[in-house]
Chain A
Amino acid sequence: MFIKQAEQLKLEKQHGQVDSGHQGVIRPGRVFLVRWSRYNPYYLEPEPRKEVYHIPETELTPEQKEERELKSVRPIKAATNSVTSSVFNDPVLSKFVNMMMKDGDKIIAKGIITQTLENMKRKQVEKYHKAPEGKKAEIECNPYAIFHQALENCKPVIGLASIQKGGKFYQVPIPLTDNRRRFLAMKWMITECRDNKHRRTLMYEKLSQELLAAFSKEGNVVKRKHELHKMAESNRAYAHYRWW
């Protein structure tokens, strides 16, 4: 941790042009602490997608025109390393990789995901070639599509919250936000693949099995989602304990 902070300080010393959250004069060559600094709220988010910039001037809606004018005046935050403008940039997949990462080792996590996708593709292509002519069109071979559909199938619809009423805690069914649902689906997938596997199976192998099972709505993760739904259904009498 201290080594990284020293490196950060060194970088800032070389560049010397960072607008950190501090109020003050930026002098080139001066060392600033940037580890815990925040962007000023008037900084805007960067737009990495290329399609947005290819729209010709005439086809812009009034809101988009306003946005463009605002962007020409306000400063913009630096894009993070994980965000690219390439066609292969997938925010959901990046989030999954980050959740799978341990100790900041993104290379291993990304490698596992790549192997998983390749493995899924191989299995699906094998099934495709073995299938009779009529069934060939139904088999999905695109591993990204399989990943997204599997994750959709794992997302719970309602969650449970522990609410205290009259001294006792009740499990109350509550609606979940989209981010929370996506997080739960990914978390369940990763924990399931880490815990319930044979000692000799590698992570990518188990992940590809689970994702293909979730794609066809079988498997342990979908079962866990159904169990949550059943719990919520059995506790539907407590739904009025919510106050939001």
Chain B
Amino acid sequence: MAMQGGTALQEKVSRMLSRKQKKPVLKPNKPLVLKDEVANRKIKKGEATCVTEMSMMMACWKQNNFVDTLCSNEMQSFYKCVEKAQIAVKDKSEQQTIGQSGRLQPKQATTLLKRYPNLHIEV
């Protein structure tokens, strides 16, 4: 089943490369070979954490002309928020490495591919 799929793909690629019918669709400057690794990427883009706390602290600074002693409450709440955000990030990354939800993580895919790499030397 995989071999059939493989030959069909190769036929399509050779058709795209050929100059017999019309202009070739593909003009590759490198050989059409897949790499032994998968790109690391996070699909979801994160958002800025602790913006409210930061803006409260800055408003307090603006009022008190940047004297730190009068803004200690807001600063403490800002530090707590930052700590919580850091712990949340750690937990999230831990949870991602453990749970996959049906898909391989990019790092796991790379490890597997490296075990059976493309042969580029004929030995």
User: Which of A153, A217, A236, A244 meets B55, CB within 8 Å?
Assistant: A236
B48 partner residues in chain A, CB cutoff 8 A: 239-244
Given A241-B48, A243-B47, are A158 and B61 also a contact pair (CB < 8 Å)? no
Q: Mark B38-64, 1 if CB is under 8 A from A, else 0.
A: 000000011111110011011001100
A232 touches B51 (CB 8 A): no
A229 at the binding interface (Cβ < 8 Å): yes
Chain B binding surface SS class: helix
* A to B contact number (C-beta, < 8 Å): 44
User: How far in angstroms is the closest Cβ of chain B from A206?
Assistant: 24
Chain A binding surface SS class: helix
Given A173-B54, A239-B55, are A229 and B46 also a contact pair (CB < 8 Å)? no
The complex places the Cα of A167 from the Cα of B55 at a distance, in Å, of 26
Q: Which of A222-236 contact B (CB under 8 A)?
A: 226, 229-230, 232-233, 236
A175 touches B82 (CB 8 A): yes
The complex places the Cα of A244 from the Cα of B90 at a distance, in Å, of 12
A239 partner residues in chain B, CB cutoff 8 A: 48, 51, 54-55
A31 at the binding interface (Cβ < 8 Å): no
B75 partner residues in chain A, CB cutoff 8 A: 157
B78 partner residues in chain A, CB cutoff 8 A: 157, 175
Q: Which of B21-50 contact A (CB under 8 A)?
A: 45-50
B82 touches A233 (CB 8 A): no
13 other A-B residue contacts (CB within 8 Å) besides A158-B54, A232-B58, A236-B55: A157-B75, A173-B54, A175-B54, A217-B68, A230-B66, A233-B58, A241-B48, A242-B48, A242-B49, A244-B46, A244-B48, A244-B49, A244-B89
Chain A contacts to B: CB under 8 angstroms: 153, 157-158, 173, 175, 217, 226, 229-230, 232-233, 236, 239-244
Q: List 17 A-B pairs, Cβ < 8 Å.
A: A153-B68, A157-B68, A157-B75, A158-B54, A175-B50, A226-B66, A229-B66, A230-B66, A233-B62, A236-B55, A239-B51, A239-B55, A240-B47, A242-B47, A243-B46, A243-B47, A244-B89
